[in-house]
Chains A and B, each alone.
Chain A
Amino acid sequence: MTVVGEREVGRGRRRKEDARLITGAASWTDNVSLPGMLYLAVLRSPMAHARLAKVDVSAALERPGVVAAFTGADLADDAGGLPCAWPVTADMVGPDHRALAIDEVRHVGESVAVVVATDRYRAADALEAIDVEYEPLPAVLDMEAALADGADLVHADKGTNKSYQWIFDSGEAGTGGDVEQAIADAEVVVTRRFRQQRLIPASMEPRSVVVGRQGEQWTMWSATQIPHILRLMLALTTDTPEHEIRVIAPDVGGGFGGKLQVTPEEVVALAVAKRLGVPVKYTESRSEAMMSAHHGRDQIQDITIAADREGNVKGLKAVLLADMGAYLGLVTPGVPILGAFMFNAIYKFPAYRFDCTGVFTTKPWTDAYRGAGRPEATYAIERIMDELAAELDIDPMDLRRKNWIKHEEFPFTTVAGLEYDSGNYEAATDKAMALFGHDALRAEQAERRDRGDTVQLGIGISTYTEMCGLAPSRILGALSYGAGGWEHASVRMLPSGKVEVVTGSSPHGQGHETAWSQIVADRLGVPFEDVLVVHGDTMTSPKGMDTYGSRSLAVGGMAVLGACDKVVEKARVIAAHMLEAAPDDLEFSGGRFSVRGSPDSAKTIQEVALATFAAHDLPDGVEPSLDSDATFDPENFSFPHGTHLCATEVDTETGEVRIRSYVCVDDVGAVINPVVVEGQVHGGVAQGIAQALFEEAVFDADGNLVTGTFVDYLVPSAADLPSIVSERTETPATTNPLGVKGVGEAGTIASTPAVVNAIVDALRPYGVSDVDMPCSPQRVWEALRTAQGGNQ
């Protein structure tokens, strides 16, 4: 039981949702079962690119238990084109994207036809009876080849594999100088080509959707991050009016951006349920998730950095090829653009240019994946800073110190045009270096090098920042994004004094129920246990922009705060009436309104709630309700930062990399719940390490996904990860009332370059200056062999 008045914000409370989530008491979409419900199975293309000469479902209809089967042509009128909400340039090439392919398939796993049957097994069996003739077309797999003259085309009608080119140039924008001039004038220029391999989001709960008619609405349960956006997009792309659609995201088991999508399966399930007039369910298998849910990352980054001999950076140029895959998903084109503002990172570069070309290939489409554009940028800048340090023979941390924004220089407008409100890179770095035992590790490294030890030690640095709290609606508008970035909350005082908080930010593992309860408990002076957080249903939480981009707390949490303050102001008027005092004479603290100067004359907020409900004696003109709504639309992003340090042991005989120690000091601003923050950091670091060492979507020469199961797509487990030392500094954000910044993506953004820098640092005496990710033993071994001229 909470003692009222004890501060909740900042307490390391255990998450109130966890008991339900870890004891099998959660409500997943796949648990939803409706009377008469049928099961949908999807036939998926085994070809990367082919013309569909024939799709004949008639034999499937003869199979036991099969109720219906549809081709793309059958549903062409019901299941409209899938939406892309982020046309980044006016002349962006965006292909028609059907939920079920009609004439052509353009990636392995693309939906070709569906079967509806009385159970999942019969539906899956009947897929084998569908007769499809695929006439192979050339697979388009390599981005550079795809852009060459005469290249085979992914979309023949578009005449090009280029979707867009998006450029930011500090000289043109007036935020800095001309980078080409800076490069031409520089004493030292370092160029590198980095590859952001393609990753596959792999949340524990696969995607799942159930659609049925309930009352006057089509109700869709979906394992989605975005119930509100999904509802609107379904209304815009299918022939179903918005008010007749209800979307419910019940407990959702992870997303990482992978469920920030309007999926073909959601659109098809709605179309089929409407066509047949019965409820349908679709739950993907893991194999389907691997090849047909959207992928992440996948860029080629050509980076040029220019500096003087003392290490003062003069300019940075990033030229990117970003693999869109075969189509544009909800925010596909915008993902690399989010990185445009982050290549300059924490540094004061006088000139900067970002030039990104989106390219179509015959692979599953890419889209948001934890960090979305920012991990890619952070990797490139933190890697090239290490390469520049090596070129100049300067300690890599000294190079960073020389170029980063000093704490007294905030607020600071960067060369990319963003205003960083706050930060203290010195403090986070000093703390991290001390925890890491940096000097002792450097001494051991030297000793191992002298000894010629088979196992070499490397130290990797990542001093990152990121932009999160997506997002200021005006900035999103300026970037041509299709919606705003505000968030909404309602706070409802129940007659008994309990509180319902309705949030538009729908969680999928983050811990909103706990954090929101802590904010409300403090603001209203009610016990933590008395707060219920309601979310994830467009009927009960009708307004919201959902959860992605580390925005929930910095945006949605502030809406909760605003709604609480409105409740207090309404209650103040009624309490004053009850106490026969003027509202301005009341103090509100610890859940009690008391008359200033006579503390015994007081009413609790619960007493006020009951009196408001009874409404027997309300002041004139006052409504019998304390319930309040608020929205919050930030004026700026928030900018978490921190210093991650990684020590790796690299076996020079086998190429095996072992992370010896990992220290991170993150500054995510004010913290509502340190346990939640630490969990986010640990998970994020794990995901970033996974990119550095393990995960990669690999395609063969025909465009088949080779890493189609967890046997080959290596998601690390606890056994593969180091013990993580996670500490914090707290430099409050100045752009929201609680000073919070967001923590959902920080670990992922920061950790990948720390690990790879450590690997390269270990091997630099051998002549190695880069290893492509994931840094598998094979790649490390090959890098060593190549550096040693083939003899190893």
Chain B
Amino acid sequence: VIPAQFDYVRAESVDEAVSALTEDAKVLAGGQSLIPLLRLRLAYPELLVDVSRVEEMRGVRDDGDRLVIGAATTHDEVMRDPLIRTHCPAIAEVTSMVADPAVRHRGTFGGSLAHADPAGDLPALALALDATMAVAGPGGRREAPASEFFLDYLQSALAPDEVLVSVSVPKLGDGWGHRYEKFHRTAQAWAVVGAVALVQRGNGTIDGARIGLVNVGSTPVRASEVENALAGGPATEDAVRSAAAAAGVGTSPSSDVNASAAFRTHLAEVLTRRAVLAAAGI
């Protein structure tokens, strides 16, 4: 790793971090996305503000009918956290499939959201969960819903002088099943396409569904058409197959060395169907 020169400051609090941030600074947490950019000299920040030891940004806490996940909590900590496993096991499932163990021990939950890579596993999940981002900036604190957080490729709603402090997610009660279908060519590779489904099972019916799609556009995509087609419908393979046919609606996948846009659209449908069937226990 031979990056260009930069300054480094370790923040002890959110306020310290915010006051250190400038237009030419970058927040450093686990570094799993930022360090490669520095290494390839695709980013030339003048200052790195290390938030990995800010106490307020670490760990998972119970917040009534929601959980609050500190943005600097590592993937490995998240996937092993008892609150997560009890109240939102979908997060444990998705997080356990992020890259490889080395990355999961350094990379952070908030870091991968703030990086806003549509090929990341967590942004689609945050979207499907209607997560709320707690953001701190020079003007104080604000909240941003996931639906307004991912603006474009590698572009979140965070201003350069803002930091993502924590992420609030709903506790999904009993009756919700989940499945992440991550389609990737090697175990540590990014998802070619992914579909994360959370399904509320009724008595022979699907009462509700939340579906997020990975890497089918410049941002993570919520498969709203599929969700609407499923909600209140029968929990049958045919119904799911029919609903999943709409997975491509609202997507704008690109072509690259791993997959053409047409193949991605096809995969979105197949993976959505498989994820919903598994989450619904069909």
Does any Cβ of A come within 8 Å of B129's Cβ?
Answer: no
Q: Is the CB of B187 within 8 A of A778?
A: no
Q: Is the CB of A717 within 8 A of B186?
A: yes
The residues of B that contact A709 with a CB separation of less than 8 Å are: 36, 40
Among candidates A125, A287, A694, A781, residue contacting B186 with C-beta atoms closer than 8 Å: A694
Q: Known contacts A654-B267, A698-B257, A707-B257: does B185 contact A777 (CB below 8 Å)?
A: yes
In the complex, A711→B187 CA distance in Å? 12
Q: In the complex, how many angstroms separate the beta carbon of A160 from the nearest chain B beta carbon?
A: 31
Q: Is the CB of A776 within 8 A of B2?
A: no
Does any Cβ of A come within 8 Å of B192's Cβ?
Answer: yes
In the complex, A711→B39 CA distance in Å? 14
The residues of A that contact B2 with a CB separation of less than 8 Å are: 120-121, 124, 285
Q: Is the CB of B186 within 8 A of A714?
A: yes
For B185, B187, B192, the residue with the greatest tally of chain A CB atoms inside 10 Å of its CB is: B185
The residues of B that contact A654 with a CB separation of less than 8 Å are: 183, 267, 270-271
The residues of A that contact B8 with a CB separation of less than 8 Å are: none
Does any Cβ of A come within 8 Å of B188's Cβ?
Answer: yes
Which of B106-114, B208-216, B258-266 sits within the interface? Answer: B258-266
Does any Cβ of A come within 8 Å of B189's Cβ?
Answer: yes
Q: Is the CB of B267 within 8 A of A706?
A: no
The residues of A that contact B263 with a CB separation of less than 8 Å are: 655, 777-778, 781-782
Q: Is the CB of A694 within 8 A of B257?
A: no
Q: Known contacts A285-B2, A777-B192: does B186 contact A716 (CB below 8 Å)?
A: yes
Q: Mark A774-792, 1 if CB is under 8 A from B, else 0.
A: 0011100110000000000
Does any Cβ of B come within 8 Å of A720's Cβ?
Answer: yes
In the complex, A63→B55 CA distance in Å? 41
Q: Mark A328-339, 1 if CB is under 8 A from B, else 0.
A: 000000000000
The residues of A that contact B192 with a CB separation of less than 8 Å are: 777
Q: Is the CB of B185 within 8 A of A714?
A: yes
In the complex, A720→B187 CA distance in Å? 6
Closest to A123 in B: B2
In the complex, A777→B189 CA distance in Å? 14
In the complex, A774→B107 CA distance in Å? 30
Q: Known contacts A121-B2, A285-B2: does B259 contact A777 (CB below 8 Å)?
A: yes
Chain B residues touching A, range: 20 to 34
In the complex, A689→B275 CA distance in Å? 29
Interface residues in A662-720 (C-beta closer than 8 Å to B): 694, 698, 706-707, 709, 711-712, 714-717, 719-720
The residues of B that contact A285 with a CB separation of less than 8 Å are: 2, 39
Does any Cβ of A come within 8 Å of B203's Cβ?
Answer: no
In the complex, A711→B190 CA distance in Å? 8
The residues of A that contact B266 with a CB separation of less than 8 Å are: 781
In the complex, A776→B257 CA distance in Å? 10
Dominant SS among interface residues on chain A:
loop
The residues of B that contact A124 with a CB separation of less than 8 Å are: 2, 4
Q: Mark A203-214, 1 if CB is under 8 A from B, else 0.
A: 000000000000
Q: In the complex, how many angstroms separate the beta carbon of A447 from the nearest chain B beta carbon?
A: 21
Interface residues in A709-739 (C-beta closer than 8 Å to B): 709, 711-712, 714-717, 719-720
Q: Is the CB of B189 within 8 A of A714?
A: yes
Q: Is the CB of A125 within 8 A of B183?
A: no
The residues of B that contact A287 with a CB separation of less than 8 Å are: 40
For A654, A711, A716, the residue with the greatest tally of chain B CB atoms inside 10 Å of its CB is: A654
Q: In the complex, how many angstroms separate the beta carbon of B81 from the nearest chain A beta carbon?
A: 24
The residues of A that contact B257 with a CB separation of less than 8 Å are: 698, 706-707, 712
Does any Cβ of B come within 8 Å of A395's Cβ?
Answer: no
Among candidates B186, B188, B259, residue contacting A778 with C-beta atoms closer than 8 Å: B259
Q: In the complex, how many angstroms separate the beta carbon of B50 from the nearest chain A beta carbon?
A: 19
In the complex, A714→B100 CA distance in Å? 14
In the complex, A656→B181 CA distance in Å? 13
Interface residues in B36-90 (C-beta closer than 8 Å to A): 36, 39-40
Closest to A716 in B: B186
Closest to B260 in A: A778
Interface residues in A108-142 (C-beta closer than 8 Å to B): 120-121, 124-125
Does any Cβ of B come within 8 Å of A653's Cβ?
Answer: yes
In the complex, A717→B103 CA distance in Å? 15
In the complex, A694→B188 CA distance in Å? 13
For B100, B263, B271, the residue with the greatest tally of chain A CB atoms inside 10 Å of its CB is: B263
Closest to A125 in B: B4
Binding site for B on A (CB under 8 A): 120-121, 124-125, 285, 287, 653-656, 694, 698, 706-707, 709, 711-712, 714-717, 719-720, 776-778, 781-782
Q: A694-B185, A711-B190, A719-B188 are in contact. List 13 more A-B contacts (CB 8 A).
A: A121-B2, A121-B3, A125-B5, A654-B183, A707-B257, A712-B258, A714-B189, A716-B186, A717-B186, A717-B187, A719-B100, A720-B187, A777-B192
In the A-B complex, the 6 residue pairs with the closest CB atoms: A719-B187, A124-B2, A720-B186, A714-B186, A653-B270, A778-B263
- 13 CB < 8 A contacts A-B: A121-B3, A124-B4, A654-B183, A706-B257, A711-B189, A714-B189, A715-B186, A717-B186, A720-B186, A777-B183, A777-B192, A778-B259, A782-B263
